[in-house]
Chain A
Amino acid sequence: MSSAKTERLINLTMALLASRRFMTKSEIFRRVAGYSGNQETKERMFERDKDDLRSLGIEIEVGGHDPLFEDEPGYRITPEAYQLPASQFNAHELGLIATALGLWRESEFEDTSHSVSRRFQSIGVTPQEPEGLTLGEVSIDETGLVEIADALADRQGIRFEYRKSGSQDAEMRRVNPMGLSAWKGSWYLVAEDLERGDIRAFKLSRFVSGIERIGKIANYEIPEDFDVRDYLIMFSRGELNAVIDVRKNQGGALRSQAITVEHQDEEWDRLTVQFNDETEFLREILWLTDAAKIVEPESLRIKVVSALTTLEARYV
């Protein structure tokens, strides 16, 4: 492997970082060590080096060199765009950062986190451990999360095979990632569906293929007021109503989400409940077996009766 290229990349970074003015290409070729060969070769070298540094996340600013000569653009790296602004974090914050990054242990973000942690620690401030905190072996990772987060950071489209809730077949989805949400241990991607033209939520555990990048980097913008919660059912208020009779002193979970509870007779109370997900709600009612009875809607009543009939036949 050529060390020459690595050496040139470092020298270029240092030169652009040291220069207050924009450096033109001819200046770079003249002054930065490592550029040799004819003009065409040097140009090609420089274009590749520039792309390499950008792919590493190093921001190269392009600007006019001299207002009197508009022939050649110039390049520079500002210290603000390159350096970690260390002084803006105190020891307590650095401790929280180190602890938080530890959550990526044994995930695909582990190497990234280790590097970020080291850079924050290079500042020379000893991080202060958060008090009274025992996280045990908590993991926040899920298969696919890191790849999706990277695509989101790049604002680049992805495609994957997805199995919809309640369906057995998977289909290819092509989306622009907009946000990520963890809900009770499961991750959800909120993304613009490029075929259907709207924004939808996808549960990571229902991905049945790997994730492939599509389209260009920085291909779309995410509006400043974008909020994943607008697209996730668990954050929305119940939209469906049900009236259910529940035996006295039973169905505690259902009672705690009821809007009204009315005394019906010695044995029963009548509850009004709002819900979003009919499948989940049906499971909750069935869990209570003969302690709950659907009054309305009729559609839910039919489903409960049908499930119980199926069950009775199956287990007899």
Chain B
Amino acid sequence: MSESAATRALRLLDLVPYLNSHPGVSVAEIAEEFAISRADVIKDLNLIFLCGLPGYTPLELIDISFDEESVNLHDPQNLGTPRRLTESEALSLRIALQALAELLPANHKDRTIISNLTAKIRSIFQSRIPDGALTYSSDRQRLTINNISQAISKNKQISIVYYNKSKDESKTRDIDPFRLIVEEKRVLLHAWCHLSGGLRSFDTANIESLEILDRPRMTSTEEKESGSKMATVRWINSQRSFAERYPSIARPGEPTSDFDFFQEEWLIRSAISYFDEIEVLEPADIRSVVAERCKRALELYSSH
């Protein structure tokens, strides 16, 4: 069974205003725009040709002429203007606009414009979903970190705008990312900086914007060797706040997971903080450190 008559009708209703604003468009371009085959485009055009207003004389029909190379709409009748948004479409647009506003730097001028635009869309499309029903709070640093991880795994260079706190200035730098270092309060990016011509560490919280470039990053073998170590954890129960917090750690349906880590301190503290979810099995020498730390912390409570 192919598509329903209603779905096809909707496409035709959208095709007419599209043709209206794209005189001379080719059949191939229409096929791509509407994600259908060229044969289906021809069928659609032949059907549009038959539609019109009551009376149905040539004066009242949609007037169109076409060949493979060029489609021309001479009279759209009353379908020349595109369809307005449905509630679901308006909602998806409002969500996307709120997300966009959140992704912009805090002082970006477009943030206010977007907020007014979102309200305007709600009012124009008479949405029954109130403004307070949708909120979007992004985690810019997490997005930054996700993008860096992607660049590293795809071996791409990135361009960042970095705020240097001590100099109080922002600069655009093209860098080759090597690795992310998770510390208690910050996540550092270790990279080769082409602007300063050397190895640098960047605090990811101070990366104002980031773009993955279509250029291969330099992979330093030295960096690789001194970089990560392998950890093995056992999952204690089916809770997953640890896995949710560090999505790069895969959790298959098995009782243990292996993953790369860069900082022993991070692994030790994770073992303690997520005591109810994970047990660190490897590296084995970390285990005695965890025990020792806990013993010291317990002494705080037994001394009184």
Contact = CB atoms under 8 A, between A and B. Distances in A.
Are chains A and B native binding partners rather than an unrelated pairing?
A: yes
A72 interface: no
B65 interface: no
Contact of B132 (A124, A227, A310): A227
Interface string B132-159: 1111111100110001001000000001
B242 to A, nearest CB: 9
B81 A84 contact: yes
Interface string B263-304: 000000101111110010000000110110111111111000
A311 B96 CA distance: 44
Given A57-B86, A84-B85, A222-B129, A283 B274 contact: yes
B250 interface: no
A314 B84 CA distance: 62
B110 A96 contact: yes
Contacts of B159: 134
A88 B130 CA distance: 21
B218 interface: no
A229 to B, nearest CB: 6
Interface of A: 1-3, 5-7, 9-11, 13-15, 17-18, 31-33, 52-53, 55-58, 79, 81-86, 88, 92-93, 96-97, 99-101, 103-104, 109, 111-113, 115-116, 118-124, 130-138, 140, 146, 149-150, 152-155, 166, 168, 178-186, 190, 205, 221-229, 252-253, 279, 283-284, 286-287, 289-290, 293, 301, 304-305, 307-312, 314-316
Given A134-B210, A225-B130, A18 B96 contact: no
B13 A13 contact: yes
Contacts of B287: 315
Contacts, number: 306
Nearest to B99: A140
Nearest to B50: A7
Given A182-B99, A301-B301, A315-B291, 20 more contacts: A13-B79, A82-B84, A83-B84, A115-B14, A118-B14, A122-B18, A131-B110, A149-B91, A168-B237, A182-B136, A184-B137, A184-B139, A186-B244, A222-B130, A289-B296, A290-B296, A290-B297, A307-B275, A307-B276, A310-B275
B258 interface: no
B196 interface: no
Looking at A132, A283, A293, A305, the one whose CB has the most chain B CB atoms below 10 A away is: A283
Contacts of B99: 100, 103, 140, 182
Contacts of B269: 287, 289
B184 interface: yes
Given A14-B51, A33-B56, A135-B103, A223 B81 contact: no
B2 A222 contact: no
B301 A293 contact: yes
A116 B138 contact: no
Given A112-B92, A123-B21, A152 B133 contact: yes
Given A180-B95, A315-B288, A228 B113 contact: no
B113 A287 contact: no
A152 B293 contact: no
A134 B10 contact: no
Contacts of A287: 184, 269, 272-273
A33 to B, nearest CB: 6
B211 interface: yes
A7 B46 CA distance: 11
Contacts of B59: none
Interface in B1-27: 2-3, 5-6, 8-10, 12-14, 17-18, 20-21
Contact of A228 (B124, B132, B272): B132
B298 A31 contact: no
B54 interface: yes
B47 interface: yes
B293 A181 contact: no
A97 B97 contact: yes
A15 B54 CA distance: 6
A229 B135 contact: yes
17 contacts: A10-B47, A15-B54, A52-B6, A52-B9, A83-B84, A104-B92, A115-B89, A119-B83, A124-B21, A131-B110, A154-B88, A168-B237, A228-B132, A289-B272, A301-B301, A307-B276, A314-B279
Contacts of A226: 130, 132-133
A37 B144 CA distance: 64
Contacts of B90: 153
B264 to A, nearest CB: 14
A211 to B, nearest CB: 14
Given A17-B78, A99-B100, A311-B272, A112 B88 contact: yes
